[in-house]
Amino acid sequence: MEMKWEKLLTSQRLGIESTNSDGIRTEYYRDYDRIVFSASFRRLARKTQVHPLSFNDHIHNRLTHSIEVSSVGRSLGLAIGLKIRDRLPDDITAVDFSSIIQAACVAHDIGNPPFGHAGEYAIRQWFTENQHLLDPSLTEPERNDLMSFEGNAQGFRIVSQLENHYKKGGLRLTYATLGALIKYPWQSDHYLTREKDKFNVFQTEVDIFHKVVDAVGLLKIENGEYARHPLAYLMEAADDICYKILDVEDALELNLLRMSDVVPIFKKLANESEIKDIGEDFSARKRIVPFRAKVIDNLIREVVDIFDDNYQDIMSGKFEGDLISKITGECKEGIDEIKNITKKNIFSNRRKVELEVGSYSSIEIILNAFISAVNDKIKNGEKLTFKSKRILDLMQDDFPTGECSAYEYYMSITDFVSGMTDNYATFIAKQISGSAK
């Protein structure tokens, strides 16, 4: 059995039965525009990519990273769209094909909390260590969602529920783009009990997830898992290419690495022994550009070939792993060396570690206050204390109205906290602890 492009690339939208084209943009361009103009996307400008609270304006944040991933994703999609053009529906062009990937790429980090992955771990740790504070009405899957908070699932929640049309389709993206955005098509129980690294679906979005699955025709594998949308592999590859290369670029900017450390590796990644260096009189920022361009170009070509070579397995849901991991030869050696050098020189950098430790404290202070306040609300309704009321007032329109379950209240807290920028989370933590100046 094989997935069909006619369904995989549907322009039908979540939350509305029919679409009214503006006669200028394709439906997939409209997806891209809706994401880019959303408040959640805008806030990525002040969220950590790798280096928290950096004062260097040349360092990547989540916003610049997402834009660059979307650019690489567009190139990947166009190359593969042209390569498999005869297998695509007659009304889908290679540009349409690449536009879906570009839209999914630009949204791929939209659910990430402040302080990068440290923020994710901090939220998970707080709920795991403070289960005794949670309302006993929570089901096991609901508890799992909180204890294994995941930025990918939060991203799916944002675009399908929270932004623009609250609980009525969110951004109302096409099912094709939503399908391409789902890298991990399963729920949080797989994360805790089946040793899956990540997941894409909170309990609040289970019904929406199944709508997407049905609309694009994802194949069911087993135990509630589904095969990935083929374009999700390309979105993932674009992300992999960017963070492998651009993490190094940031490290050069911060003097964590030297050009002499990087150039031999980049030559392997580019499959070229000779790449012209503009000379030592220029900064690393300028010198790295020709190397970076050659590397990205070569990795795109490698991924296109791997996708084509594994086409049948991808379309039948049998492909395992990711596309980048299938690269071989000298380019593979370069990828392994990049992993080693970034682990040693970047992710263990003392200032980065210090700031991440501080981020745990900030998240802990915020969640202590907000969960305490919402528990007061759950228990006492409108008779909650003045302090609890004022803390919840900080959420303004983000706090749910009407009758809500304890789980919905807790999810609104994680929505609010994960939506914070690094700066705002730091500020609110200081305000709550009384240490703000």
From 96, 108, 97, 99, select the one nearest 69 (Cα to Cα): 108
Share of the chain above pLDDT 70, in %: 89
CA-to-CA distance for 368 and 379, rounded, in angstroms?
A: 16
The verdict on pTM exceeding 0.75 is yes
Residue 116's pLDDT is 82
CA-to-CA distance for 242 and 135, rounded, in angstroms?
A: 41
Tokens 């990519």 -> residue = 49
Which amino acid is residue 289, in one-letter code?
V
- Average pLDDT for residues 49-70, to the nearest whole number? 75
- Average pLDDT for residues 98-121, to the nearest whole number? 92
- Average pLDDT for residues 254-282, to the nearest whole number? 75
Strand partners, 170: 165
CA-to-CA distance for 348 and 143, rounded, in angstroms?
A: 32
HSE toward the beta carbon, residue 390, CA cutoff 13 A: 6
CA-to-CA distance for 166 and 415, rounded, in angstroms?
A: 13
Residue 279's pLDDT is 62
Residue 359's pLDDT is 81
CA-to-CA distance for 19 and 162, rounded, in angstroms?
A: 20
Q: What is the mean pLDDT of the chain?
A: 87
Going from the N-terminus, what domains does the chain have, and what CATH number goes with each?
A: 5-112+140-216 (1.10.3210.10), 236-345 (1.10.3410.10), 350-433 (1.10.3550.10)
Residue 268's pLDDT is 86
- Average pLDDT for residues 228-254, to the nearest whole number? 88
